[in-house]
Amino acid sequence: MSAILTVDRLTKTYAGGFTALDAVSLEIREGEILALLGPNGAGKTTLISAICGIVQPTSGRVTVGGHDTVTAYRSARALIGLVPQEINLEPFEKVINTVRFSRGLFGKPRDDAFLERILRQLSLWDKRDQPIRSLSGGMKRRVLIAKALSHEPRVLFLDEPTAGVDVELRRDMWEVVRQLKEDGVTIILTTHYLEEAEAMADRIGVITRGRILLVEDKDALMRRMGRKEMRIELKEPVTRVPQALEPFGLTLEGEGRRLVYAYDRQANRTGIVRLLTALQEAGLTVADVETKQSSLEEIFVGLVKEEVTP
Amino acid sequence: MNLTAVAAIYRFEMARTFRTLAQSVVSPVLSTSLYFVVFGTAIGSRIDEVEGVSYGAFIVPGLIMLTVLTQSISNASFGIYFPKFIGTVYELLSAPASFLEITAGYVLAAATKALAIGLIILGTAFFFVDLTILHPGWMIAFLVLTCLSFSLLGFIIGIWAKNFEQLQLVPLLVVTPLVFLGGAFYSVSMLPPAWQAISLFNPVVYLVSGFRWSFFGVADVAVGWSIMAIAGFLLACLVAIAWIFRTGWRLRA
């Protein structure tokens, strides 16, 4: 896939001297979903704002669809849709009017049939004539998405689209995002819900303290950095890990009823067979065995922790 | 040029006017009508002519100017301040529209509203006083230029303001006193010579004087000076707005 958006050494230093973005470079491939993860204040929203023209970068260059966001800002911005983190909407305006306004603002002629399709897709069509202040929080978020999509962008930024949204609505929103991807929209998603990134993203980017730590294919990242654990339930509890099992680095949990063995799935020898043999030799009876892959959340926490305490 | 964006902003702002018709149109018309009743009819009937014009008719251009100035400023300042306040300004900043287009949308809408109110007040004045307009073309030209230039000023105030108090600060503490002291209710020639000289530093004197000239053919300052003053003011506002959008002052982080 070719890159639809390139960020080259983008830096933002505020007047007070705080560097929110430190020479960030990034390539977004056409049609993908990239989840940008990072702790609070990592620079996720600043990065999006700098790309979209809301924040003026100190240095660096951004191109969207080959158009420079400074020298050819009209062509570049026309390709971008932005769903901000906060629910920023005109409370007294009707849904349809605010969506029409967004389309016009981005230079597109009125097309009620297209807007109807978007509003139906987002389950907003029945509410088109309602003032925004009468909608629920989840519906307001959908209005933000409808506004961002109203000018048919090729790149969509979703800045924490499911923050404060209940579980059911969050899953609905994921469905909307998947549908957009199917329609060929490139999506850059920031989120605090790592489960969300794990469920939807093709690639994961991790940003902290204004620097990109990594951008990698999600599955490859989870394979590379994810650890696997084998949990061995014992029939009879033990007070300590038997001496013969110490080389395996086991941890004892569940009031002495569970031994946990962490291993690298990609290693030539995982040590599982040796461990099971050693358990038998030590006279322990195994009641049950289960394995667990570490989640993206655990990988993310590990990465950010490493960065904070090098 | 993204004229579609200009039209979108213009329509959106005008829709706000129609949503709040009582506040936007009825209220200024009512308060100006009260001025006509109190100053024009009640008190004015006991005042001699000013510059050969009955006092009731003499104050009409000043009253229209007072309303048009305050309406232009408040409409345009609110128009851009409200998106800043509720956060929807992100959309304007990320749109493929230039500063000129965004400004044009807001300023044209604010000027249209102020112009409409000015014309309604003028129409209302005919119910209270005998009025003739000597130079109707110039009258419209002064009105339009005033609406545009003070809408630009209002737009700057809306960008500058960080809260609703600041939004009201300039209109209440600067513009209203300048209009009252700018000859809205009197001729500058009625003042002592020293105050006449001081009045010439008040830019509103030139607007009121030029506008009154278009009605009655009498003016406190030469009409050419009035045109130059308003054109200069318009230019200064445009330069200020171009700078604001170039630097992102009070708009972009």
pLDDT in tens, A175-226: 888 888 998 999 999 987 777 888 889 999 989 889 998 898 887 777 666 6
Whole-model pTM?
0.82
Average pLDDT over residues A51-62: 93
- Range scoring the smallest mean pLDDT among A51-60, B11-20, B33-42, B118-127: B33-42
Tell me the CB-side half-sphere exposure of residue A1, using CA atoms within 13 A: 15
Residue A309 has pLDDT above 60, yes or no: no
Which of A53, A90, A97 is closest, CB to CB, to B94? A53
| Cβ contact B68:B116 at 8 Å | no
Contact B97 A147 (CB under 8 A): no
Cα–Cα distance, A263 to B58 (Å, whole number)? 94
Contact A82 B9 (CB under 8 A): no
In terms of Cα–Cα distance, which of B154, B220, B153 is closest to B185? B220
Residue A104 — pLDDT band, cuts 50, 70, 90?
very high
Helix (H, G, I), strand (E, B) or coil at B208: helix
Q: Which residues contact A21 (CB under 8 A, 6 or more apart)?
A: A10, A11, A12, A43, A46, A47, A50, A57, A60, A210
Domain architecture of chain A: domains with CATH: 3-223 (3.40.50.300), 227-293 (3.30.70.1560)
Residues in chain B: 253
Q: What percent of chain A has pLDDT over 70?
A: 90
Residue ranges of chain B whose CB lies within 8 Å of a chain A CB:
2, 4-5, 7-9, 11-12, 15-16, 19, 82-83, 86-88, 90-97, 248, 252-253
Residue A16 — pLDDT band, cuts 50, 70, 90?
confident
Average pLDDT over residues A61-65: 95
Which of A74, A97, A100 is closest, CB to CB, to B96? A74
Average pLDDT over residues B167-177: 86
For all residues of chain B together, what is the average pLDDT?
Answer: 88
In the prediction, which pLDDT does A308 show? 57
- Range scoring the smallest mean pLDDT among A68-72, B64-68, B187-191: B187-191
In the prediction, which pLDDT does A195 show? 76
pLDDT tens-digit profile of A112-137? 999 999 999 888 999 999 999 999 88
Q: Which of A52, A105, A140 to mutate to test the interface with B (most CBs of B within 10 A)?
A: A105
pLDDT tens-digit profile of A245-285? 888 888 888 888 999 888 776 666 778 888 888 888 888 88
For all residues of chain A together, what is the average pLDDT?
Answer: 87
Would you give the DSSP letter of residue A256? T
In the prediction, which pLDDT does A296 show? 65
Contact B253 A74 (CB under 8 A): no
Instruction: Quickly count: other Cβ atoms within 10 Å of residue A303's Cβ.
Output: 19
Residue A307 has pLDDT above 80, yes or no: no
b vs e for A84-105, b when ≥16 Cβ sit within 10 Å of the residue's Cβ?
A: bbebbbbeebbbbbbbbbbbbb
In the prediction, which pLDDT does B244 show? 87
In the prediction, which pLDDT does A101 show? 96
pLDDT tens-digit profile of A222-231? 766 666 778 8
pLDDT tens-digit profile of B231-240? 998 999 999 9
Q: Residue type at A41?
A: G
CA gyration radius, chain B? 19
Residue A40 — pLDDT band, cuts 50, 70, 90?
confident
Residue B140 has pLDDT above 80, yes or no: yes
Residue A75 — pLDDT band, cuts 50, 70, 90?
very high
Residue B137 has pLDDT above 80, yes or no: yes
| Cβ contact A237:A256 at 8 Å | yes
In terms of Cα–Cα distance, which of B219, B69, B67, B200 is closest to B134? B219
Which of A88, A101, A104 is closest, CB to CB, to B87? A88
Q: What is the ipTM for the molecules in this complex?
A: 0.84
Which stretch, A5-9, A42-46, B201-205, has highest mean pLDDT? A5-9
Cα–Cα distance, B187 to B161 (Å, whole number)? 34
